[in-house]
Chains A and B, each alone.
Chain A
């Protein structure tokens, strides 16, 4: 279980113009839950994610993973960045990229190879192990990044706008892949996006943020049936209703007003 309690982040504190990115943010993600975080651009989405990942020290408040406070990057957590071209190491082949975080674990050669093959197959890239990332398309590179995160065998997966730089068709495929992998591996997912459709389609709950200094505007439950389907789920009136609801929640002007107080 992931708990974020009264998280606050101010950049450049003590300088003449400090910037308060996150004002006061509390959210809980239960085990095996899929929670999306949406918000207008400029809401501290990435800041929040980096604090949760232990990559950025918060100003105050705390993050707990299974009741342990997060101080550095936790062992049970893996990250998938938006910019796959910069998070995959271009001088390593696909399989070396996946093996790299596993070196420390000393699983043995055969076990490592098997794990790599398994995860590559599960993202639909069974044949690409010997290639370099830059020989693959953008969508395939993001699949590699997902495979790397899975091979790390985390309990929770943080994804920072992972599909923002791929085309629409690939995006739909990758969304379904993530849903499928969640069921298969039983992991918890915290998913940051600016795409409302995507958030509603994927999630159990959607956390709507206000513009900076960020707070939680609203948490929306998504009671759509699973497994979800790109066509059937999205043609349900319930889906249309939810996305309209989240949309309004983001655009609601009083958030900006309360936030600036």
Chain B
């Protein structure tokens, strides 16, 4: 796509800023009189958001939710990278585990919650374990692919210069597979958020997911909206944070891609 002309570009940036503001204003105006039961006045939602989440329920709901999410996610990523590197280096092993991994990955994650409740009970361990289990597969598959796909010339260069095993792993194989590992980790992050919310909806007495569903069931509509807004912000922030880290770690990768075009 060609770069648009300058006046068009200025107009574009103007729209980029103006449209979301206009949408919010429109929403606020239309919902102002509170005539719709489902769509309470936007300003009320904001006020409730402030009362609820800044910072009354942070300790009781937000922290437990995020702690479970991050613990499960971290376990999954570390385990998947370690096992993925091992599997990626053996062709036969890779062929063996492939169908099993494909199957486990294809299970829609939330259906595992009933099994989790059964085996581990209704508690935080269950949620962490399920988040870890679900996040494990995309990272594993991508790590295997990434390790398998290390350029043979890079490998041969390392061999001919007698690079030590440890250096070969940490400075050749892992950096080379990093773009794919990050792609998998990003998919997993989205799954982790889904599992966090759903597991709290189905089996919990705290957490943001529990709060929104409970608000709906007790017809505390403004509270429900404030919870949805919080989840939206969390999803956006987690994704943004992830991109920030990825951009930092894979700076070289963007450089290579920009350079090769």
Establish whether residues B161 and A87, one from each chain, have CB atoms under 8 Å apart when the complex forms.
no
Establish whether residues A152 and B175, one from each chain, have CB atoms under 8 Å apart when the complex forms.
no
Establish whether residues B256 and A90, one from each chain, have CB atoms under 8 Å apart when the complex forms.
yes
Bound: A73/B256 CA distance, A: 29
A55-B159, A81-B157, A134-B259 given; A103·B253 CB < 8 A: no
Which B residues are in CB contact (< 8 Å) with A75? 162
A199 at the binding interface (Cβ < 8 Å): no
B163 at the binding interface (Cβ < 8 Å): yes
Establish whether residues B160 and A55, one from each chain, have CB atoms under 8 Å apart when the complex forms.
yes
A134-B259, A135-B259 given; A104·B163 CB < 8 A: yes
Establish whether residues B159 and A132, one from each chain, have CB atoms under 8 Å apart when the complex forms.
no
Bound: A85/B256 CA distance, A: 9
Choose, from B55-63, B113-121, B164-172, the stretch at the interface.
Answer: B164-172
B151 at the binding interface (Cβ < 8 Å): yes
Residue of B nearest to A86 (CB): B153
Bound: A50/B153 CA distance, A: 11
B229 at the binding interface (Cβ < 8 Å): no
Interface residue tally of chain A, by bracket? Answer: 20 to 34
Residue of A nearest to B157 (CB): A87
Bound: A77/B156 CA distance, A: 13
Which B residues are in CB contact (< 8 Å) with A152? 161
B252 at the binding interface (Cβ < 8 Å): yes
Establish whether residues B252 and A134, one from each chain, have CB atoms under 8 Å apart when the complex forms.
yes
B7 at the binding interface (Cβ < 8 Å): no
Establish whether residues A55 and B156, one from each chain, have CB atoms under 8 Å apart when the complex forms.
yes
B14 at the binding interface (Cβ < 8 Å): no
Establish whether residues B161 and A134, one from each chain, have CB atoms under 8 Å apart when the complex forms.
no
Interface residue from B151, B153, B159, B175 paired with A91 (Cβ < 8 Å): B175
Binary flags per residue of A77-107, CB closer than 8 Å to B gives 1, else 0? 1110101011101111000000011011000
Bound: A132/B175 CA distance, A: 15
A55-B156, A81-B153, A86-B151 given; A101·B163 CB < 8 A: yes
Interface residue from B153, B160, B175, B178 paired with A73 (Cβ < 8 Å): B160
Bound: A90/B172 CA distance, A: 10
Establish whether residues B160 and A103, one from each chain, have CB atoms under 8 Å apart when the complex forms.
no
Establish whether residues A132 and B157, one from each chain, have CB atoms under 8 Å apart when the complex forms.
no
Establish whether residues A103 and B164, one from each chain, have CB atoms under 8 Å apart when the complex forms.
yes
Establish whether residues A135 and B255, one from each chain, have CB atoms under 8 Å apart when the complex forms.
yes
Which B residues are in CB contact (< 8 Å) with A212? none
B244 at the binding interface (Cβ < 8 Å): no
Establish whether residues A89 and B163, one from each chain, have CB atoms under 8 Å apart when the complex forms.
no
Bound: A192/B105 CA distance, A: 48
Which B residues are in CB contact (< 8 Å) with A90? 252-253, 255-256
Establish whether residues A79 and B164, one from each chain, have CB atoms under 8 Å apart when the complex forms.
no
Interface residues of B in 131-190 (CB under 8 A from A): 151, 153-154, 156-157, 159-164, 167, 171-172, 175-176, 178
Interface residues of B in 216-261 (CB under 8 A from A): 252-253, 255-256, 259-260
A86-B153, A89-B172, A89-B175 given; A53·B160 CB < 8 A: yes
Bound: A72/B167 CA distance, A: 18
Bound: A27/B171 CA distance, A: 37
Establish whether residues A134 and B167, one from each chain, have CB atoms under 8 Å apart when the complex forms.
no
A91-B252, A134-B255, A135-B255 given; A104·B162 CB < 8 A: yes
Establish whether residues A73 and B154, one from each chain, have CB atoms under 8 Å apart when the complex forms.
no
Q: Would you give 7 A-B contacts (Cβ < 8 Å), ordered by A?
A: A73-B159, A73-B162, A85-B260, A90-B253, A103-B163, A134-B252, A134-B255
Nearest 3 Cβ contacts at the A-B interface:
A101-B161, A86-B153, A134-B259
Task: Report which A residues bind B (CB closer than 8 A).
Answer: 50, 53-55, 72-73, 75, 77-79, 81, 83, 85-87, 89-92, 100-101, 103-104, 132, 134-135, 152
Q: Known contacts A91-B176, A92-B171, A100-B161; can you find 16 more A-B pairs with CB under 8 A?
A: A50-B156, A79-B156, A79-B160, A81-B153, A81-B156, A87-B157, A90-B253, A91-B253, A100-B163, A100-B171, A101-B163, A103-B167, A104-B163, A104-B167, A132-B252, A135-B255
